[in-house]
Amino acid sequence: MLQTSFFGKSDTGLKRPNNEDAFIIKPESGFCAVADGMGGAAAGELASSIFIETAAEIFFKYKDRSEKKTVELIQKVFSLSNTRILDHTARNPAHKGMGCTAELLAFYGERFVIGHVGDSRIYRYRNNQLKQLTKDHSLVQEQIDQGLIKPEQAMTHPMRNVIMRAVGIKESVALDILKGENKSGDLFLLCSDGLTDMVNDKVILETLSLPGTLSHKTDKLIESAKSAGGNDNITVVLSNKYYNNG
């Protein structure tokens, strides 16, 4: 049977006074998540924490799940956290505009389901190849899709931080749901854009290819982002699948 291990870490980076990212790892519930807050200082931190706390609350009771139930739970996490953030800003006008990008990866049996909104990302490393599973909901990605700019221009584009979707901004949240099969040796990376704005896919691939623990690889990725400038908060969560023959 496939087993799962997790490791995660969040770093303020070198330029921001506080950390608006948040993450959660729940091996007993078979899921992990990353949220990147926006809206400034206290408001951004609050938005990301609302998402993470909502995920913990909703997944708590469901350890053995079907695909249908897993999708339902992910949809509920995004919908309820969206409502809770909007309710907060209605009561606290000074926090208007706060929200977060969010990634949630949930396992069931030998498959997975992803919920994705914004420009945080989920990658899968398999057979020495790196694949970005999510697609950024960003202005830059739209320009790439339209052929207006090349992908290699995205990291230095002046509008690279403009996102088109987020949790807690509109009455309903447009959510991407992705599904797939797990294989032994798969390594999943969830990260905020504080990593991918600083580090390209080649560096991510090289780091995930290294021997060593999830902790070691997480630290290497964060250090790479900081060495490149550390302009934003950096959050990395790794999860790998393996056969336990014991």
Which tens digits make up the pLDDT trace of 167-218? 999 999 999 999 999 999 999 999 999 999 999 999 999 999 999 999 999 9
Question: For position 160, what pLDDT does the model report?
Answer: 66
Higher pLDDT, 220 or 136: 220
What mean pLDDT is reported for the chain?
Answer: 91
Question: For position 82, what pLDDT does the model report?
Answer: 97
Question: For position 42, what pLDDT does the model report?
Answer: 66
Query: E strand or H helix at 5, and its extent?
Result: strand 2-11
> How far apart are the C-alpha atoms of 96 and 223, rounded to whole Å?
33
Q: How confident is the model at residue 222 (pLDDT cuts 50, 70, 90)?
A: very high
Q: Which CATH class is domain 2-132+161-243?
A: alpha beta
Strands 187-191 and 121-126, bridge-based pairing: antiparallel
> How far apart are the C-alpha atoms of 71 and 25, rounded to whole Å?
18
At 174, list the tokens: 């447009």
Is residue 52 over pLDDT 60? yes
The structural domains of the chain, with segments of one domain joined by +, span 2-132+161-243
The answer to whether the Cα torsion of 164, 48, 13, 190 is positive or negative is negative
Question: For position 208, what pLDDT does the model report?
Answer: 98
Question: Percent of the chain scored above 70 by pLDDT?
Answer: 93
Question: For position 159, what pLDDT does the model report?
Answer: 67
> Residue range 109-123: average pLDDT?
95
Render 164-189 in DSSP notation, one character per residue. S--BTSSSS---EEEEEE--TT-EEE
Q: How confident is the model at residue 158 (pLDDT cuts 50, 70, 90)?
A: low
Question: For position 38, what pLDDT does the model report?
Answer: 92
Using alpha carbons, select from 173, 168, 194, 175 the residue that is nearest to residue 104: 175
Residue 228, sorted as left (phi over 0), alpha (psi -120 to 50) or beta, turns out to be: alpha
> How far apart are the C-alpha atoms of 81 and 63, rounded to whole Å?
21
